[in-house]
Amino acid sequence: MHTIGVLTSGGDAPGMNAAIRAVVRRAAALGVEVIGIARGYAGLVQGDFHRLNSGSVTDIIHRGGTVLLTARSAEFRTKAGQAKAIDNLNHEGIEGLIVIGGDGSLHGAVELAKMGLSVVGIPATIDNDIAGTDYTIGFDTAVGTAVEAINRICDTATSHERNFIIEVMGRHSGQIALASGIAGGAEIILIPEYPVDYDLIVERLERGRKRGKLHSIVVVAEGVGSAFEIGREIARRTRLESRVTILGHIQRGGTPTAFDCLLASKLGARAVEVLLAGGSSRMVASVANKILDLDLEPLLKAKKGIDPELYRLAEVLAL
């Protein structure tokens, strides 16, 4: 292979730039040209291609977001859109593609691989909901941001002796809620993978107050339902003065943590090596601190799920 492409797609995640940089620099070291594709699959369909060299990725490792920009493309989901993408790649002489993104983006990668293109995926989403890898790029940063916010809210919650409902991201996954809830010392963590039990919530909050706790924190993943409705129901049942804070997209931006920069650097470099070794429809992954490459399609059919031990730990520590 002489020329490969790289794109970022779907929701951005801190550390995507570190992954782009690693792809470009590893490829350069191996004498391979890299074409950056702007706005993910939308740019692939439109032929929005930009030659990248080592200099183009200077000074981006520590920046959140993605310098390649990202988008969700309706056209690429059609067979005609995918055929156009393949034509554009052939026309540009791009022989292999690295896709950096989450679940939807990696599904797109599988579609292209089925059409004969060599594709390697790099899991990058703050949601950490991709099976086969312990961590996705961006999760550690998002959890750190959420914990910092929880700690700040704890201060004001204590001063006013209030109950706070804090909504974190995760439309289908409770990974951010569980990790940030444990690290932030939340009394209650609500995630889409487990049913909401209001009797248990009330019991636990009241027990905390009796022990002299001045505040309480309920961390809820957005996929559970409206944080405002949950807050109203808890306030009605406990008579605790409650407030709701939605952290939203602040969890997606910001400087990636050292963990995410390191993970992205390792995954980006390995993705190039896998592609050049002839791998296709593969995903690079971090498993027990080792970088592996795995067959992509079965991973997308598998569900990552919540670690039940971690969920139990959250309950024990919140007692």
Are 5 and 248 spatial neighbours (Cβ–Cβ below 8 Å)? Answer: no
Binding mask 243-282 for ligand F6P (x = CB under 6 A): ---------x------------------------------
Residues 197, 265: Cα–Cα separation, whole Å? 42
Question: How many residues in the shown chain lie near ligand F6P by CB under 6 A?
Answer: 10
Burial 38-67 (b: 16+ CB within 10 A, else e): bbbbbbbbbebbeebeeeebeebbebbbbb
Q: How many helices (H) and strands (E) does the chain have?
A: 11, 11
Member of 18, 126, 227, 274 binding ligand F6P (CB under 6 A): 126
Catalytic residue among 127, 129, 260, 293: 127
Member of 170, 192, 208, 268 binding ligand F6P (CB under 6 A): 170
Are 87 and 54 spatial neighbours (Cβ–Cβ below 8 Å)? Answer: no
Residues 258, 14: Cα–Cα separation, whole Å? 11
146 binds ligand F6P (CB under 6 A): no
Least separation in angstroms between residue 217's CB and ligand F6P is 20
Retrieve residue 210's tokens.
């009796």
Residues 273, 160: Cα–Cα separation, whole Å? 55
Choose among 140, 186, 133: nearest CA to 318. 186
Member of 91, 152, 160, 171 binding ligand F6P (CB under 6 A): 171
Member of 11, 64, 108, 268 binding ligand F6P (CB under 6 A): 11
Q: Which CB atom, from 89 or from 126, has the smaller least distance to ligand F6P?
A: 126
93: Cβ contacts below 8 Å, ≥ 6 apart: 2, 3
Least separation in angstroms between residue 226's CB and ligand F6P is 14
169 binds ligand F6P (CB under 6 A): yes
- How many other C-beta atoms are found inside a 10 Å radius of the C-beta of residue 239? 10
Q: Could you tell me how far CA 212 lies from the centroid of its own chain?
A: 37
Q: Which CB atom, from 33 or from 222, has the smaller least distance to ligand F6P?
A: 222
In the bound state, the residue with its beta carbon closest to ligand F6P is: 171
33 binds ligand F6P (CB under 6 A): no
Least separation in angstroms between residue 249's CB and ligand F6P is 6
Site for ligand F6P in 49-108 (CB under 6 A): 102
Residues 191, 174: Cα–Cα separation, whole Å? 5
127 binds ligand F6P (CB under 6 A): yes
Least separation in angstroms between residue 305's CB and ligand F6P is 16
Are 284 and 120 spatial neighbours (Cβ–Cβ below 8 Å)? Answer: yes
127 labelled catalytic: yes
Binding mask 215-244 for ligand F6P (x = CB under 6 A): -------x----------------------
* Catalytic sites, residue numbers: 127
Q: Give contact residues for ligand F6P (rule: CB under 6 A).
A: 11, 102, 125-127, 169-171, 222, 252
